[in-house]
Structure 1
Amino acid sequence: LGVAALIVVLSVMNGFQKEVRDRMLSVLSHIEVFDNSGTMYDWQALAKDAFKNPEVIGAAPYVAAQAMMTRDETVRGVM
């Protein structure tokens, strides 16, 4: 009974780990490309070059910045 319970628990945890990994990777990018200047003016041209590789299925720009958030008396830095 103990061995059966261990096998069931390990199987469930293994499936849960795979599901979590798949869900994270579906939201997070596999690669990020940055410009040395910090501003990428012609990202569409770079995306066009990336799409020459058949493994690339999507490209999109995003903005990363730092800020301060406050709630009541608490102040936190955020990215």
Structure 2
Amino acid sequence: MFKEMGLFYRPASLTGWAATGLALAFCAHIIFFFASHTHSVTDMLYGMFPFVAPTLLGLYVLAMRTAQSSERVRT
């Protein structure tokens, strides 16, 4: 689903692009919601962190576990 690019991963299949798109759409929705309902930047950051951080961390773990490494060691 993903390909390794240094420290990051990029989607390599339609499923990877769909997972990335859904995660980013969810994060954008959360950011816009908290931006319109808070009175300060700190309130916004504290409000969105419990939603955005686990989403991006989950996407990173999914990418790590399904990545196709560019350098496979053959044994």
Fold shared, TM-score > 0.5 on shorter chain: no
TM-score (norm 2): 0.34
Larger Rg: 1
TM-score (norm 1): 0.33
Q: Compare the two structures and name the one with the higher helix fraction.
A: 2
Higher relative contact order (CA 8 A, sep 6+): 2
